[in-house]
Chain A
Amino acid sequence: MSGRYLHADPTLCVGHRLCAEMLPELITLDDFGYPIISPDPVPRHLGRLARRTVGACPALALILDGNPSRRVRRHQPRPGASPG
């Protein structure tokens, strides 16, 4: 099994936070109580726990599949400008 990734469908996620409690290695919460999921492939030793967490999400928002994370950062600091 190569590269499995964890995602949350944000239109379904209601911020139960359960996932962050079950899988803190890969899921943290933002300041608003919604999960931030690691964009890296799920490490082998966390595979089982990741599947269990997906099954535990009450909103059925979690997805484990072969699609790499869509969370690509566009942000690049502006050269020569610092705020203030």
Chain B
Amino acid sequence: MSLVATAAPGELRVPRSGPWNQRLLAGPKLGGPEPLADHASRLGGGITGWTERAGAHQLLERVRRSGLGGRGGGGFPTADKLAAVRRHGPGSVVVVNGSETEPAAGKDDLLLRIRPHLVLDGLLVATRILGARRAFLVAHSAQAVAAVEAALRERPDVSIPVEVVRGPANFVGGEESALIRWLEGGQALPRYQPPRVVDRGWRGLPTLVQNVETLAHLGLVVRLGPEWFRGAGVADEPGTMLVTLSGAVEAPGVYEVPIGTPLPEVLYVARAEPGAVALLVGGYFGSWLRASEVQGLALSRSSLRPAGATPGAGVLHLLPQGTCGLRESGRILAWLAAQGARQCGPCAFGLPAMASALNEVADTGSEAALGQLERWGDQIEGRGACRHPDGAVNLARSAASAFPDELRRHRSGACSGPRQSALPLPLGRDQG
């Protein structure tokens, strides 16, 4: 195994099993889409057996009692979002968000490729709760689109029109209002909210945008019940979550991990290489945890909050020995700056300036550049139409505080990290 175990995009989508109880990744045949017959016999029949027995209100109550939170990064309570759309009455729109534009993520694409019926079950439940009139399913890869289209042909129970499309390639295109614009035929650029998309989304209709993984859990919640769902995870964050692990691990890929699992356990299972420098938690909007900090922390919002981190959409990247966290952060920040939609001044001008400052910090350890980073971070945060700049600022702040030893070394002109990159920053399609 080479020192820098950079996972190729394909490797990110490899399903991996750990010692934990599997829910979304349970069952045999993790190589391709599970046929409907296998799905139904494994889970006790079609989902309509459950959705038709219960009224829409009962279904929503079940979701509420499960405590399911969104798996697209924000962790917003799914029952609250469903209720916000349902308030407007029938005729709303559901968007299944599998755009997964983050380069180091692969869980939603994997789920659509191997367990499309779990996601369609969840879509059907959401549709039933809302009385929705149509739906869109946005997938990252062509393979996922094909798997979902084939699965839909097996599903006469999905009675509303579902349009399956390959998602936008730009990073901010996965943001909900950008995605809706894209589905309306426009450019995948976020818009200023309010009005919120739950009130005025696709063509002005109330719209539920829900992550692929969230919907997969939703289907199981309705089948197996809220108590079952709460049988994994921690009290205020129940369930399992999919984690895409890359970097200095011998087994990169997608793991299904109960929320609240100690981070060292996750890294052990993925066979982390010795001497790793730091762990990036929560992806490119995320935070660095020094190797010494990882001990004692668990994969949950409540455990990570005091360390200034969140699990986000489950992206973990372990920085290998011999790489420099400051330099890697500078590269990511420059990439994020270029990915901004250039609609908002603070994002369009502030992020490139912050990226230069961070790269200067990485080159020289400059105190002045560190000061600029702090000042600009405070100025920019919360001032874009979407949360893209906030995520980028979070990463920059985390880099500036997580690597004090590296900073000292750079100040004395002795960076020991070779300039190799460990994090996937795609060119080609994803740049586009």
Residues of B within 8 A of A34 (CB): 345-346, 349, 383
Residues of A within 8 A of B384 (CB): 10
- Contact indicator A10/B343 (Cβ below 8 Å): yes
A20, B306: Cα distance in complex, Å = 37
- Check A78/B191 contact, CB under 8 A, given A36-B383, A83-B400, A84-B365: no
Residues of A within 8 A of B400 (CB): 83
- Contact indicator A83/B382 (Cβ below 8 Å): no
| Most chain A beta-carbon contacts within 10 A, residue among B192, B306, B384 | B192
- Check A11/B343 contact, CB under 8 A, given A83-B400, A84-B407: yes
One digit per residue, 1 when the CB lies within 8 angstroms of any chain A CB and 0 when it does not, for chain B 284-324 equals 00000000000000000000001110000000000000000
From B65-73, B82-90, B133-141, B372-380, the one touching the partner chain is: B372-380
In the complex, A41 has a CB within 8 A of chain B: no
Q: Which residue of B lies closest to A76 (CB)?
A: B308
- Contact indicator A78/B345 (Cβ below 8 Å): no
| Most chain B beta-carbon contacts within 10 A, residue among A14, A15, A36 | A36
Within 8 A of A (CB), among B360-377: 365, 367, 370, 375-377
In the complex, B164 has a CB within 8 A of chain A: no
Contact among B308, B343, B353, B401 with A32 in the assembled complex (CB-CB below 8 Å): B353
In the complex, B394 has a CB within 8 A of chain A: yes
- Contact indicator B308/A31 (Cβ below 8 Å): no
Q: Which residue of A lies closest to B382 (CB)?
A: A71
Contact among A14, A72, A78 with B382 in the assembled complex (CB-CB below 8 Å): A72
- Check A75/B404 contact, CB under 8 A, given A10-B345, A10-B346, A34-B345: no
Within 8 A of B (CB), among A21-78: 30-34, 36, 67, 70-78
Chain B: residues with Cβ within 8 Å of the partner, total of 41
Contact among A10, A30, A81 with B402 in the assembled complex (CB-CB below 8 Å): A81
Q: How many A-B residue pairs have CB under 8 A?
A: 86
- Contact indicator B306/A79 (Cβ below 8 Å): yes
- Contact indicator A67/B194 (Cβ below 8 Å): yes
Residues of B within 8 A of A9 (CB): 192, 385
A74, B385: Cα distance in complex, Å = 16
Residues of B within 8 A of A36 (CB): 379, 383
In the complex, B14 has a CB within 8 A of chain A: no
- Check A82/B404 contact, CB under 8 A, given A30-B380, A34-B345: yes
B64 to chain A: closest CB distance in Å?
Answer: 25
Residues of B within 8 A of A83 (CB): 370, 400-401, 404, 407
- Contact indicator B347/A10 (Cβ below 8 Å): yes
A84, B401: Cα distance in complex, Å = 8
A83, B405: Cα distance in complex, Å = 9
- Contact indicator A75/B381 (Cβ below 8 Å): yes
Apart from A10-B192, A31-B379, list 12 A-B contacts with CB within 8 A. Answer: A11-B189, A12-B192, A30-B380, A32-B345, A32-B346, A67-B194, A75-B377, A75-B397, A82-B404, A83-B370, A83-B401, A84-B408
| 13 A-B pairs with C-beta separation under 8 A | A10-B346, A10-B383, A11-B344, A13-B344, A31-B379, A32-B346, A34-B383, A36-B383, A71-B383, A78-B308, A78-B401, A82-B401, A83-B370
7 closest residue pairs by CB, A with B: A10-B344, A71-B382, A34-B345, A32-B349, A30-B379, A11-B343, A9-B192
Interface residues of B, Cβ cutoff 8 Å to A: 189-192, 194, 306-308, 343-347, 349-350, 353, 365, 367, 370, 375-385, 390, 394, 397-398, 400-402, 404, 407-408, 411
